[in-house]
Structure 1
Amino acid sequence: MTEVELPRPSFFARRPVALCGSRKVWLTIHLWIGLAVGLFLSLIGVTGSALVFFHEIDGWLTPALSIADAPPQGRAGWRTLEDITAAAKKAVPGEPTGFFVYYPNHPRKAFWFFFPLRAMEGAPPDVVNVFVDPNTATVTGARLHYSGHNPFENSLTGFLFKLHYALLMRDHGMAIVGVLAIIALISTVTGIVLWWPRNGKWQNAFTLKWPARVERLNYDIHRLVGMFFLPVALAVIVSGVSFNLPEQFNAIVEAFSPITKIERLRSAHGTEGPTTLDEAFAAAASRFPDGRTESFSLLRPDGPYVFKQMFPIGWGLEGRRTIYIDRYGGDVLLVNDPLAGDGDGFMAWQWPLHSGYVMGWPGRIAVFLFGLSWPLVFFTGVVRWLQKRRAHRLVERKAAA
């Protein structure tokens, strides 16, 4: 008999065989992760979807963020940043040691200041918002954004933020959510392994069978929704780990490339006089004229001015660079640029990826839909588990009979 050599399967058809040799193990891991933490991940996903539009939500709910009248000359008619910041500081008690402010993205928007205020040493700070009209440098409103002792006193977006990244827990909430993000990443990997077509039929792997029984339709929705949002999931989950477990994440990144210790940057007194906010802003804008200022801050009395800019990268993508400017002399101390190709550049990608701003409105909508997909995947996963459990019991009953 002549021996016939059968064609070898392609790489993509063979690879899952090795991966799925213990398919039951992968399925068990995927199942119990979903049952154990799926509800928490759904909550994190839904709040994340809402926070994609937190600027818009606050604009709707907080009239003080909107300016009724804007001068015909636009931003050229604004008061100086020094005047605007001085007006904001006068609206809060004591002498605030630091602030963060969102730069208006529209001529009819107010400057949106965040001031951390500590009632007593060691107590968690309250964070107060102050809104300032840039045309007159007058305060248009103020509110409590974060409460240091009661999250239910937060503003709506403040409450959603605390729920999203810390589950309203004061001490260990960020670490717990960071661990949940790692678990979500493991669940995503196991989902890829279980979805991978072992027979090499890729068309079926991306097909929703219709019409079909409820059981099959539920199964297809579960696997296809998860795979459709896979690129967004990887970007959002990994960046979420970087925010909630920064020390551990930075240590991994530093194994490949150094990261600048931002907390070590200092504005040292010298022979040069103090640099005003307006001079620092002009220095950042002149060095990077392609940038659109998103925010600026002064977080420590001895720290530098920090300016964050969004800028076009090409192909519809946007990055965010951070510029650190010495308060004495106006020198640029550091630039974190996502195009730098080093550890600092890699870290600069995390926020645009997590928020979806890397792709503008399409990216934000993608992150919004991904957050909503988590409860859908959780629900269809639970339904799938109940269906298989019921079927298994029917088989056992028939066997016993």
Structure 2
Amino acid sequence: MSEKKKNKTLKYWIGRIHLWLGLTSGLFVCFLGITGCILAFEREIENVTQPYRNLEVQNKALLPPTQLKLIADKALPNKHAHSITYQPGKTAQVVYYNFDPEYYYIVFVNQYTGEVMKVKNMNDDFFRIVIMGHYYLWLPPTIGQPILTSATLIFVMLLISGLILWWPKNKAASKQRFTVKWNAKWRRVNYDFHNVLGFYITWIIIFIALSGMIMGFQWFAKSVYFVSSGGKTLNQFEESYSDTTGTAKLKLNASAADKIWKSYIDSDPKFTGSLDVHVPENEKASIEVAKNPDTETYWKADYRYFDQHTLKEIEVKHVFGKLKNASVADKIMRMNYDIHVGAIAGLAGKIIAFLASLVAASMPITGVMIWIGRNKKKKKAAVAVIR
């Protein structure tokens, strides 16, 4: 068999693999692409459509975390507050989140006056519903997440096989691989759309897909960390606890959160980012503070943990610790969500991610149309031979 014949045979089987993988995962890819488009500008849409989130900066003292928590507790009784978030120009958010029993609420409070602006059940929130579909297909996470992440893995294989199929045989053919022939018949336009736009978005959507796999597959996240760190093991996030040893009985020291919060405020009064404070729920819990200078992304946040009884800082070994201690591999893990939504490159990155997701959603549709068209051609050719 000649080399040319071998190459044709190889490309033929790659084409068959590409076809069947596409038919297998097409609906999921289309679904992920559409929901990804909806979520691309979630924050911008919320800021415009939910005015209770916005609050003009005032020359007044801020209410401390424990006081905001007490106010929110009255508005939402019998729930445990998870965190209190401050950000200039925004109302404070007291978040209530729990696994068993499951609930997720946000109480928006004016941090200057203590007025409750909104009690929001996030399980009824439009974007929250879309997120649950995008992550879990509205199924239990142990079922939905593996299904969608497996579909994402198949999509990565489709991108690779698609590049091989796209690769031109010669210079003459290469001229047709970079532009869509819009004045041609619709089948040719559809073919060009699938191949040309598929080629262009591959270099963007591959990062969105791989970052999705990091969130969905622990083995993949560990592998990425292992490679990027030069052979180190990814330390999973673990709760930090206050020291209760040597004391017969300790009472919950919630006011310690106010002291730590005040030290942050006093040390940087002109800070324009967000400050997230976790008030301890029991005597063993630590106080977590996350200071993020860039509210458009998450990876730059500085996470610190304190003993509620001694106010001594607790050092951690996982990725979500002090930013200055983060290695390159740690930062890659931190950036993962921002890469996934395009926020890592600002508004331009979100626009690019939106367009790439939109084209990705169309790929299974244009691919099926190509497949149907080829089948019709084969049937017509077979009928012509019989005649």
Task: Give the letter aligned to residue 136 of structure 1.
Answer: T
Q: What is the CA–CA distance in structure 2 between the aligned matches of 1:307 and 1:17, rounded to whole Å?
A: 61
Is 1:307 the counterpart of 2:307? The answer is no
Structure 2 residues not aligned, in runs of 5+: 248-252
- TM value normalised by structure 1: 0.78
Q: Secondary structure at the match of 1:141?
A: strand
Give the equivalent residue in structure 1 for 2:206: 234
Q: What is the CA–CA distance in structure 2 between the aligned matches of 1:44 and 1:338, rounded to whole Å?
A: 35
How far the C-alpha of 1:101 sits from its partner, in A, is 5.2
Is 1:350 the counterpart of 2:336? The answer is yes
Is 1:57 the counterpart of 2:28? The answer is no
Q: What is the CA–CA distance in structure 1 between the aligned matches of 2:73 and 2:350, rounded to whole Å?
A: 33
Give the equivalent residue in structure 2 for 1:6: none
How far the C-alpha of 1:320 sits from its partner, in A, is 2.8
The structure-2 alpha-carbon separation of the partners of 1:205 and 1:124, relative to structure 1 and needing over 3 Å to count, comes to farther
Superposed CA offset, 1:274-300 (max 9, x none): 74256257559969x998337555697
Task: Give the letter aligned to residue 377 of structure 1.
Answer: M
Is 1:212 the counterpart of 2:165? The answer is no
The structure-2 alpha-carbon separation of the partners of 1:53 and 1:31, relative to structure 1 and needing over 3 Å to count, comes to same
Give the equivalent residue in structure 2 for 1:34: 22
Larger mean Cα displacement after TM superposition, 339-348 or 131-140: 339-348
Name which of 344, 349, 365 aligns with 1:363: 349
Query: For the Cα contact (< 8 Å) 2:65–2:277, is it kept in 1?
Result: no
Is 1:161 the counterpart of 2:120? The answer is no
Is 1:253 the counterpart of 2:214? The answer is no
Is 1:99 the counterpart of 2:85? The answer is no
The structure-2 alpha-carbon separation of the partners of 1:136 and 1:327, relative to structure 1 and needing over 3 Å to count, comes to farther
Give the equivalent residue in structure 1 for 2:93: 112
- TM value normalised by structure 2: 0.80
The structure-2 alpha-carbon separation of the partners of 1:388 and 1:261, relative to structure 1 and needing over 3 Å to count, comes to same
The structure-2 alpha-carbon separation of the partners of 1:144 and 1:223, relative to structure 1 and needing over 3 Å to count, comes to same
Task: Give the letter aligned to residue 90 of structure 1.
Answer: K
Structure 1 residues not aligned, in runs of 5+: 1-13, 147-153
Give the count of matched residue pairs.
365
Name which of 215, 231, 256 aligns with 1:243: 215
Is 1:221 the counterpart of 2:193? The answer is yes
Kindly, what percent of the aligned residue pairs are identical?
21
Is 1:89 the counterpart of 2:73? The answer is yes
Q: What is the CA–CA distance in structure 2 between the aligned matches of 1:300 and 1:262, rounded to whole Å?
A: 19
Superposed CA offset, 1:292-334 (max 9, x none): 337555697524514152559xxxx995334132244252634
Give the equivalent residue in structure 2 for 1:187: 158
Task: Give the letter aligned to residue 309 of structure 1.
Answer: N
Q: CA RMSD in A?
A: 3.6
The structure-2 alpha-carbon separation of the partners of 1:378 and 1:249, relative to structure 1 and needing over 3 Å to count, comes to same
Task: Give the letter aligned to residue 350 of structure 1.
Answer: N
Name which of 323, 341, 350 aligns with 2:303: 323
Larger mean Cα displacement after TM superposition, 331-340 or 196-205: 331-340
Q: What is the CA–CA distance in structure 2 between the aligned matches of 1:349 and 1:382, rounded to whole Å?
A: 35
Give the equivalent residue in structure 1 for 2:250: none
Q: What is the CA–CA distance in structure 2 between the aligned matches of 1:243 and 1:357, rounded to whole Å?
A: 16
Query: For the Cα contact (< 8 Å) 1:338–1:349, is it kept in 2?
Result: no
Q: What is the CA–CA distance in structure 2 between the aligned matches of 1:353 and 1:231, rounded to whole Å?
A: 13
Is 1:379 the counterpart of 2:387? The answer is no
